[in-house]
Every structure is written in structure tokens, then in C-alpha cells.
Structure 1
Amino acid sequence: MKVNHQVSDELLLDYASGNLSEGWSLAVATHLALCPEARRRLDAIEGAAGALFDKIGAAGSVTDSDWERMKARLHGQTSQVQTTQGRTPQGRTPHVAQGSPVRASEGVIPEPLRSYVGGDVSSLKWKALGRGAYQIRIDTGDTETQVRLLRIPAGKPVPEHTHDGRELTLVLAGSFHDGEALFARGDLEEADGSLLHTPTATEGEDCICLAVTEAPLKFSSWIVRMIQPILKI
């Protein structure tokens, strides 16, 4: 499986440094479980940060060239990946063993998401959103984000919307088109208020995604906006 849309360097750096709240950390950690290249990039960040810390301890300062070398290492290092963890506010720790890809026997939902919702997709208690779409709200101790699983029926769109703040969408099964881009299993889409879009599940298979937001979506349709408080999206 090749992941074409990976977590950004900025978000990965925040994850490595423990600066993400639980919802964001859960999305990134689950993406890492599905994406070997992102795990290698995380290892590069941790290795470069350790080297930079050693230099600060020895010399007491860091130059612009040191920072440039660190950024180059982030993009170029492919060393052995080790286990890492993303800290969360209330002590719950989404984590992924960096180095082993997800086995087929682990199914649609890998760790750490599996610890939140279980691993059997057929037993999940979906709640209808209308037009064949379903959601499961995931409880966390995080007051900053809203975390949910979404199931979008094959060939159907999510109504046109933009965002107040950041949205992360990680594909677990199926795929969706967003403009010209195709997002499939393991792909992570990062969106914000600059993006007005209508993600559409591809034909042939429902699309199951992990979605994390920090504010309700801003829908273009006034009808959808009217029922939005009931749907809690």
C-alpha cells in the first residue's frame, strides 16, 4: 500500500514534541501506523532534534546553518524507525510502534484507534447523518477537538463546506476525491478555512474516515446549516 498524502512536517514536529492535544495526536498516530514513510520522517525529526539538543548543550547556541542541516535531515533520513508516543492532556497516550506496517489481520482499524472504538467494523454502532451517511462520535478527554468516524456511501458527496480552524481526515477504508486529488487508505488530508470543498466517496465501496475538527463545519447549504446542531457536525 502506497500512501500519497502524508502528514505535514509542521504537524509531525508538533506530534514528536508532544504539543498536540489528544484528537490531533490520535489522527497522526493512526496515520503513522498506516504509512511507513511518515514513520521514517518522524524518526528523522527525533534524531535531528536529539543532535540539535546535544549541540545546544555543548556550545550554547545554534546557527542558521545548523537549522538548515536539520531540515535537510528531516527530508532525507531513512534510518531504522523506533517506537514513539504522542502525549495527551489527560494522560491517555495514542501511540504506534514505528517500524512494522499494519498486518492484514488487523483489518480496517489499526492501533491506536482500535483502543478507542474496537477492531470489528461490523459491530460499530453507527448513527445516521442522512443521505446514507453515518457517524460515530469518539469520546476523548480533549476539549479542543471533536473526533468521529464517518462512513460516506459510495459515490456520494459530503455537502460543500469550509472550516473554522483545522480539519484532519484520515482514510481507513475506501477512498474519496477532493477536486483532482484522490485520498485512499492511509492518506491524510489537512484542511482549514482557506479550503471550500465537496469530498466525494468513490464508486464501489463506502469510504470510512477518521475526522478531527476544532469547530463545527461551515456548510454552504442553508438547509444543512439548519439541521447541523441536531447532527452535531
Structure 2
Amino acid sequence: MTNAAAHDVTHHVPEPMLADYAAGRLGYSFSVAVAAHVSLCDECRARLAAHEAAGGAVLETLPPAPVSGDLMARVMARLDDPAAAPPAPPAPSGIFPGAVMAALKGQPPRWRKLGMGIRQSILHAGGDGSLRLLYIPPGRAVPDHGHGGQELTLVLQGAFHDETGRFGVGDIEVADESLEHTPIAEEGEPCICLAATDAPLRFSSLIPRVLQPIFRI
């Protein structure tokens, strides 16, 4: 897998979002994006551990809750049941962290052409938002767009730049309703990103708006 530690990861998950992830308050799509970034970023991994430690300390201060008399016996019985053991998380593969491989169910991406050489593979789409992989050829731009909500974009290969700066492997861009931008893949290898959204994008040009329902973006 690409070693993001060899790169300068300079764009991180905001502190409130990392706290929500530690507490289990993020939706599926954002949780996968944050988990993938954390696996590539030493700084955010350390910050997440601090949030989890703080949460554990809070739990220790809570009064004990009453439990049924047979709880211990039921727990011990489950420990002896091989089916109760959780499956091991998928291992990283190529450029894809374990969290992305889990969303892919261990299979290669199923790319669909969007035009101009850009492709996408939808990993999740539902009322809580969407999760997709984007493949952007070198030098190509994603059409200018704004956001109806939040969007997290994690770079897995290559790099892109937009009005806010440059994003390389391991970097995550957090966009909201205030940002309208035109991401452009840098020259070299294709840029592959993981994008999580909680609302549809707002495209400036007519053709992307017409195709938006078909491509579910």
C-alpha cells in the first residue's frame, strides 16, 4: 500500500469530526473516509487515540448499571461460540486502506465512465449520503461545483489542487456549502480519491447538472 508517512500529510480531519468518529456519531460514508485517513496519518491516529482514551475515562466515572443474573453465563457461552468471533478486518490492498477494502467487500472497484476520462465507483448510496472512488486522469479537472452539505475527499494516489491548496496522498479535504471549487489532477499518475458526501453537489454548468441524476453525484 502507498506509504503516506513518506509524504507530508498536511490536511487533517477537523477536531469536532474526529471526536464524533470516536464516539460513533458519524454516518457510514464519513466514518469510512475518516477511518481511511486515520490509517494513513500518524497525527490524526494519535489524536483519535486521545479522544478514545478520554471517552474511556468518562465511562469509568459512570455508576454501574444493573444487569441480569445470568449475564455472566451468557457471555461465557458466546465466547465459546466460534460464530460469535468478529471477522478480521480486510487487509490493505494496493493503494486502498483496510476501511476502503471493507467498503469494497474485498473486490476491485467497478469503475463507471463519467466523461473526459474521469471514472467513479460507487461504494454506498443512501439517505445518509454517498461514498465513491473517483479516478481522475492527469491534468483533468472535475467540473466546477459547490456543495449542498459536507464533502470529505481523501487522496489515495496522485494529487490534486483547487482554490484552497494542494492535496497529496493521505490528505483529506473538508468542503461545505461555502466552497465552490474546481479540483484539477496534477500531472504524473492518475489521481484516485475517496469522496464521501451527505448531500448532492451543485454543479455550475448545464451538462453536469443534466447528468447528475444518472451518475448519482
Q: 1:107 to 1:164 in 2, by over 3 A?
A: same
Percent of pairs with identical residues: 46
1:167 aligned partner, one-letter code: E
Q: How far apart in 2 are the matches of 1:226 and 1:154?
A: 25
Q: 1:133 aligns with which of 99, 113, 118?
A: 118
TM-score by length of 1: 0.73
Match of 2:135 in 1: 151
Deviation at 1:179, TM superposition (A): 2.1
User: Shift of residue 125 of structure 1?
Assistant: 2.3
Any stretches of 5+ residues in structure 1 without a counterpart? Answer: 59-92
Match of 1:62 in 2: none
Contact 2:148 2:199 in 1 (8 A): yes
Can you list the C-alpha shifts for 1:93-116, whole angstroms capped at 9, x where unaligned? 9x989xxxx9xx842001011122
Deviation at 1:210, TM superposition (A): 0.5
- In the other structure, the counterpart of 2:159 is 175
1:48 equivalenced with 2:57 (yes/no): no
Contiguous gaps of at least 5 residues in structure 2: 1-5, 64-85
* Alpha-carbon distance in structure 2 between the residues aligned to 1:51 and 1:214: 31
Residue 25 of structure 1 aligns to a residue in which SS?
Answer: helix
Structure 1 pair 119–208 and aligned structure 2 pair: CA distance change class (3 A) = farther
Instruction: Summarize deviations over 1:172-213 as a string: whole Å, max 9, x none.
Output: 101100225111111111001100100110011110001011
Of the candidates 108, 112, 120, which is equivalent to residue 99 of structure 2?
112
Looking at structure 1, the residues matched to 52 and 97 of structure 2 have their Cα atoms a distance apart, in angstroms, of 23
What CA deviation, in whole Å up to 9, does each residue of 1:109-156 have, x standing for no partner?
010111222667xx532100001100001136x530111100011111
The worse-fitting range, judged by mean Cα deviation, of 109-118 and 129-138 is 109-118
Q: Does 1:37 align with 2:43?
A: yes
Which shows bigger deviation, 172-181 or 20-29?
172-181
| Equivalent residue for 1:186, pick from 164, 170, 176 | 170
Q: Secondary structure at the match of 1:157?
A: coil
Query: What is the total number of aligned residue pairs between the two structures?
Result: 188
Say if 2:20 is the partner of 1:14.
yes
**CA distance in 1: counterparts of 2:106 and 2:187, whole angstroms:** 25
Counterpart Cα distance in 1 of 2:89 and 2:168: 20
Asked if 2 retains the 8 angstrom alpha-carbon contact of 1:33 and 1:96, the reply is no
Deviation at 1:215, TM superposition (A): 1.6
Give the RMSD, CA atoms, in angstroms.
2.5
In the alignment, structure 1 residue 203 sits paired with structure 2 residue 187: yes
Is the contact between residue 30 and residue 96 of structure 1 (CA under 8 Å) also seen in structure 2? no
Structure label with greater radius of gyration: 2
The match for 1:226 among 210, 213, 217 is 210
Q: Which amino acid aligns with 2:41?
A: C
Moved over 3 A (4+): 49-54
The 2-side partners of 1:52 and 1:118 are apart by: 35
Q: After the TM superposition, which of the residue ranges 190-199 and 174-183 deviates more from structure 2?
A: 174-183
TM-score scaled by length of structure 2: 0.78
Change (3 A) 1:49 1:185: same
